[in-house]
Amino acid sequence: MSNQLSRASKSRAGMWFWEVDRVLLLLAFLLIAIGLVAVAAASPATARRYSDAAHQMPAMYYFWRQLMWVCVSVPVLIGVSMLPTTLARRLSLIGAGLFLVLLALVPFVGHEVNGARRWINLGISDLQPSEFLKPLFIVSTAWMLSFRARDPELPVLFVTGGITALIGVLLMMQPDFGQTIVFGTVWVILLMISGISPAAIAGLGGTAVAGVVAAYLFYGTARTRIDNFLFPTKEAALSDRYQLEMAHDTLTAGGLTGAGPGSGQVKFKLPEAHTDYIFSVIGEEFGLIACAVIVLLYLAIVIRVLMKLLDEEDAFRLLAAAGLAAQFGVQALINMAVNTGIAPSKGMTLPFISYGGSSMVALSIGYGLLLAFTRRNPYLKRSPYTVRWSN
């Protein structure tokens, strides 16, 4: 095994080991390990909430299921990270088309959970197409935007904008306003990196403000959540505001160092403790210091990617890697903002930490693509700040 991973090795595993960013790989494994501990802490509370007289769930039910998904996801992450850039791009384009079709089918064949229709039942598990579409959409959008340097007249801004708008409409039908924000935000970030004009950026900003106003006026889900967040009433105690208040109480219950593993009590009152609000469970059981460490881990991933891209010469790889890092960071930021009470509830998982099969596998695909696009030949010298816009 050591010979296969030596610098002189010509095997795929050997070349991958020396080309992959091992710091990014380690940071991902740290988050996955933290996630397993966090799901183990949240599992008893969630199992009790979803048990009834006829069916009593084992206390560690969700932990064992998450462990199973981790065993599936880690090989997926490593396998995807070994893909050559061209193959990774082609598979992403095909996958984006497939999951866009599945996303369009969700309103008709999906099943409803907690008032939202976002999943397709596959028998052994539920598939959430939007989770898988996110990284594939980013890679596909990066590929289309990379054509701008060859021909600035190509209408790639309008094409990618139209696709993003279509995805947003399909997501709001579920409804899933949080995912809509992630798709839209990452699309704007990719446009800014690709070099659109300041006037276009200003126009997008105005469109975003108008979109939020329109969502409030004409989209009941957004209006309800914004009202419950900004103007809480007694009736709101049974909905989003109650969740936010319980998340805050759970997050702060452990103080700086936490109540200790398995000692948290407020988490038993918290809805979706194993998914949307797992960051609060970490706060109660392991303390605010542990929460700060997790924030730093996410920040380290984004900064590490951006530093590596400073000398990237290929426009597609630059856009794809930056977009994938942005998706990872934006999703983590939204989840933590909800848990700390500074944003309305959005049903957003915390990457690699929250429970969920679709989320874990899809994030592993996205992170694997990120590692694939940031792989570097250690002997190749690069010229900083020189971008080669090629396809």
Per-residue confidence band for 381, with pLDDT thresholds at 50, 70 and 90: low
pLDDT at 137 over 90: yes
Specify burial of residue 378 (Cβ count, 10 A radius: 0-12, 13-18, 19+): exposed
pLDDT of residue 391: 42
Over residues 40-55, the pLDDT tens digits come to 999 988 888 877 656 7
pLDDT of residue 302: 95
pLDDT at 2 over 60: no
Q: Which string of b and e fits 103-135 if b means at least 16 CB within 10 Å?
A: beebeeebeeeeeebbbbeeeeebbbbbbbbbb
Q: Which of 57, 62, 75, 72 is CA-nearest to residue 35?
A: 62
pLDDT of residue 176: 81
Where is pLDDT greater, at 304 or 239? 304
pLDDT of residue 390: 44
Q: Percent of the chain scored above 90 by pLDDT?
A: 44
Where is pLDDT greater, at 290 or 253? 290
Over residues 305-362, the pLDDT tens digits come to 999 988 888 889 999 999 999 999 999 999 999 898 887 777 789 999 999 888 999 9
pLDDT of residue 9: 57
**Alpha helices in the chain, H assignment, sequence order:** 12-19, 22-49, 61-81, 85-109, 129-145, 156-172, 177-194, 198-218, 220-230, 240-253, 278-286, 288-308, 315-339, 357-373
Q: Which amino acid is at 212?
A: V
| pTM greater than the 0.95 cutoff | no
Specify burial of residue 248 (Cβ count, 10 A radius: 0-12, 13-18, 19+): middle
pLDDT at 226 over 70: no
Give the Cβ contact number of residue 172 at 10 Å: 16
Over residues 153-209, the pLDDT tens digits come to 778 888 998 999 999 889 888 878 788 889 999 999 998 888 777 777 777 777 777
Question: Across all residues in the chain, what is the average pLDDT?
Answer: 84
357-373 vs 315-339: helix crossing angle, rounded to 10: 140
pLDDT at 24 over 90: yes
Q: Which segment of 147-151, 196-200, 219-223 scores lowest on mean pLDDT? A: 219-223
